[in-house]
Chains A and B, each alone.
Chain A
Amino acid sequence: MYPAQFDYRRAGSVDEALSLLQENEDAKLMAGGHSLIPMMKLRLAQPPVVIDIGRLNELKGISEAGGSVRVGSLTTHADIAASDVLAAHCPVLAEAAGHIGDAQVRNRGTIGGNIAHADPGSDIPPVLVLLGASVHLQSPSGTRSVAAGDFFQDLLMTDVGEDEILTHVDAPALGAGTGSAYLKFEHPASGYAVVGAAASVTVQGGRCTGAGLVVGGVSATPTAVDVSSLVGTDLSDDAIAAAASGLDAEDPIGDIFASGDYRVHVGKVYGKRALAAARDRA
Chain B
Amino acid sequence: MTVSIQLEVNGKPVQAAVEPRRLLVHFLREDLGLTGANIGCETSLCGACTVLVDGNAVKSCTMLAAQADGASVTTIEGLAQNGELHPLQEGFWEKHGLQCGYCTPGMILSANYLLAQNPSPDDEEIREGLKGNICRCTGYHNIVEAVKYAAERMS
Contacts and interface: CB of A to CB of B under 8 A. Distances in A.
A–B contact via C-beta, under 8 angstroms:
yes
A38 B44 contact: yes
Interface stretch (A12-20, A21-29, A98-106, A251-259): A98-106
Contact of A104 (B3, B39, B59): B59
Contact of B62 (A4, A34, A50, A190): A34
Interface string B34-77: 00000100111101001001001111011110110000000000
Nearest to B70: A55
Given A102-B132, A104-B50, A38 B43 contact: yes
B27 interface: no
Nearest to A101: B132
Interface in A1-51: 1-8, 10, 33-34, 37-38, 40-42, 50
A133 interface: no
A163 interface: no
B66 A7 contact: no
Contacts of B39: 1
A107 interface: yes
Nearest to A36: B62
A108 interface: yes
A37 B45 contact: no
B79 interface: no
A189 B131 CA distance: 11
B45 A107 contact: no
A50 B23 CA distance: 14
A97 to B, nearest CB: 14
Contact of B132 (A10, A104, A190): A104
Contacts of B23: 1, 3, 37, 41
A7 B20 contact: yes
Contacts of A10: 66
A4 B53 CA distance: 24
B55 to A, nearest CB: 9
A190 B132 CA distance: 10
Interface residues of A, number: 30
A6 B20 contact: yes
A101 B50 CA distance: 14
A190 B45 contact: yes
A36 to B, nearest CB: 9
B150 interface: no
B57 A103 contact: yes
B141 interface: no
B58 A104 contact: yes
B1 interface: yes
B21 A6 contact: yes
A34 B114 contact: no
Contacts of B21: 2-6, 40
A50 B19 CA distance: 12
A50 B114 CA distance: 32
Interface of A: 1-8, 10, 33-34, 37-38, 40-42, 50, 52, 54, 78, 101-105, 107-108, 189-191
The 3 closest A-B pairs by CB, nearest first: A102-B132, A8-B20, A107-B56
Interface of B: 1, 3, 19-21, 23, 39, 42-45, 47, 50, 53, 56-59, 61-64, 66-67, 110, 113-114, 129-133
21 contacts: A1-B42, A1-B61, A7-B1, A8-B1, A33-B62, A33-B64, A33-B67, A41-B23, A41-B61, A78-B56, A102-B131, A103-B113, A103-B114, A103-B129, A104-B50, A104-B59, A104-B110, A105-B132, A107-B56, A108-B59, A108-B63
